[in-house]
Chain A
């Protein structure tokens, strides 16, 4: 099975549906509208269990990155990078990195997140 086979988890569905429509989404509390970390099933601020999804602006900053020098799946031939990005909405999102595996990177660097053909990735802004 391809690594890109869609998840069947119901909580994650709106995220994947967003990508299929070319939209990057993050979640907020339906009651108080504050941004919640991906995976939260309740609001950490007001205990509400209602989660709503919103389109993200696609801007953020680079928190961390790793460079795979060994391959684990045919869809990802090494070397390649994966990044942890903090979206400007205030939540962290793991993303495939678009850019050379040897390019110098800096923690805190501004990044852009783009969605193309249903796939999200991050690159230096």
Chain B
């Protein structure tokens, strides 16, 4: 491994109550998470000079407005913005925060995601029924009956299965492995053991996805503080260092018989690896954006960890589950842990690297790949994190 000096650090972590009930608006949850993260970093509120806000693409702008600044009475901001790249936004906020602290534009930047899809009159299923555009023709998905991100992702998943000659049981090991992590995680929402039989008997939502192939939405918020790497030791929390990051944008256009990357994730990964001076072989654990089980398989391949078409066998061999050689989504991920879009993998990474993962704690989490994915596989952002300031 080449030597890499950390570019920035995550010095604070905070949650706004995670719940399947409506306990407060996204805006209130964001305030709660930010206050917790600032305190966790050992900072005073007036030391926060950057605020980057990530709102759910399904929530209206007023759900998480720039007025968070006034809510929090942050008088010293030198950078503030809403970042809008769907499921890749959370990782992007950390990237932009890192660049701000590297250049001195800001010293302590808070990145926050908050969402409240579950309301007294709205179930999680209804909240996520809005079509995801994949046709290029405005309004056409609805006219075809392609509702929800579930249908759009299922379409890519089915093409993947057929292309590699896999059947609809290929995703089972992803769901089972992540449930195994969740069973031992008190923060996870779905902790009841999931057997292969129960998985296969679970209701189809949109074939080839069964219910356990789909993320488990919650209301809640996650905030992190990004500070200069050199200042990371000053705070009370164990620092988590950022060594590389990247983005790549481009949707799943199908196979067309090509050998090239299927999405922009490959580009995001190559950029992150180059920045940190590492290769995919140096990755020792992953926190992968897994709104659907299939995305884990695709990400393992696109990020260069498995060869194309080989991720299903890799996961089926138990490599990503507890005890495996490449632990993935060690809190249960979005499937069994909780779905707070791009902040779920970042939260799981921070807990692991800070040694706060309880029964799921890895002896040596090493270099962790953290991914974000938005749209229908269109927007990708990746982070490389470690406990070590120097690799």
Within 8 Å of chain B (Cβ to Cβ): is A92? yes
A124 → chain B closest CB, angstroms: 15
Partner of B254, one of A72, A92, A93: A92
Q: A4-B143, A69-B205, A95-B144 are in contact. Are A64 and B136 (CB under 8 A)?
A: no
Name the B residues within 8 Å of A12 (CB-CB): 137-140
Q: Mark B18-44, 1 if CB is under 8 A from A, else 0.
A: 000000000000000000000000000
> What would be 17 A-B contacts, judged by CB atoms less than 8 Å apart?
A5-B139, A7-B137, A11-B138, A39-B137, A64-B159, A64-B254, A66-B158, A70-B203, A70-B204, A73-B142, A73-B147, A80-B145, A82-B144, A95-B144, A96-B145, A107-B159, A107-B162
Interfacial chain B residues near A3, Cβ < 8 Å: 142-143, 145
- Name the A residues within 8 Å of B206 (CB-CB): 66-70
Chain A, range 87-108, C-beta contacts under 8 Å to B: 92-96, 106-107
B156 in the interface (beta carbon within 8 A): yes
How many chain-A residues does the 8 Å CB contact rule pick out? 38
Looking across the interface, which residue of chain A has its beta carbon closest to that of B159? A64
Within 8 A of A (CB), among B335-358: none
Closest to A6 in B: B139
Q: Is the CB of B159 within 8 A of A84?
A: yes
Cβ-closest chain B residue relative to A62: B162
Q: Write the nearest CB–CB distance from B166 to chain A, whole angstroms.
A: 12
Neighbouring B residues of A80 by C-beta, 8 Å: 145
Chain A residues, Cβ within 8 Å of B208 = 66
In the complex, chain A residues whose CB is within 8 Å of the CB of B140? 7, 12, 15, 94
State the CA gap A63–B154 with chains docked (Å): 13
| Contact of B217 with A by CB under 8 A | no
Among B136, B151, B253, point to the contact of A66 (Cβ < 8 A): B151
Q: Which of B101-143 contact A (CB under 8 A)?
A: 125, 129, 134-143
- Interface of chain B residues 134 through 184 with chain A (CB within 8 A): 134-148, 151, 154-156, 158-159, 162-163
Q: Which residues of B contact A (CB under 8 A)?
A: 125, 129, 134-148, 151, 154-156, 158-159, 162-163, 203-208, 253-254
Q: How far is the CB of A110 from chain B (nearest CB, A)?
A: 15
Considering the chains assembled together, what is the distance between the CA atoms of A119 and B162 in angstroms? Answer: 28
A42 to chain B, nearest CB (A): 13
Task: Report the Cα distance A104→B134, complex, angstroms.
Answer: 24
In the bound complex, residues from chain A placing their C-beta under 8 Å from that of B139 are 5-7, 9, 12
What B residues does A94 contact at CB under 8 A? 134-135, 137, 140-141, 144, 146, 155
Contact assessment for B254 and A66 in the assembled complex, using a CB-CB cutoff below 8 Å: no
Give the Cβ gap from B145 to chain A, nearest Cβ, in Å. 4
Check: A22 CB closer than 8 A to any chain B CB. Answer: no
List 20 extra interface pairs beyond A12-B139, A63-B254, A106-B162, CB under 8 A.
A3-B142, A7-B138, A9-B138, A37-B136, A39-B135, A39-B137, A64-B155, A64-B158, A64-B254, A66-B146, A69-B206, A70-B205, A75-B145, A82-B151, A82-B155, A92-B254, A94-B134, A94-B140, A96-B145, A107-B162
Minimum distance in angstroms from A60 CB to a CB of chain B: 13
* A82 x B204 contact (CB < 8 A): no
Write the nearest CB–CB distance from B255 to chain A, whole angstroms. 8
Determine how close the nearest CB of chain A comes to the CB of B293; give it in whole angstroms: 15
Q: Smallest CB-CB separation from B141: which chain A residue?
A: A94
Contacting pair B137 A69 (CB below 8 A)? no
Complex Cα gap A4–B147 (Å): 13
Q: Which residues of B contact A69 (CB under 8 A)?
A: 203-207
CB distance from B143 to the nearest CB of A (A): 6
In the complex, A75 Cα to B148 Cα: how many Å?
15
Docked pose: A7 CA to B135 CA in angstroms:
13
Question: Nearest chain B CB to A87's CB is how many angstroms away?
Answer: 13
Query: What B residues does A93 contact at CB under 8 A?
Result: 135
A69 to B205 CA separation, bound complex (whole angstroms): 5
Partner of B135, one of A38, A75, A86, A107: A38
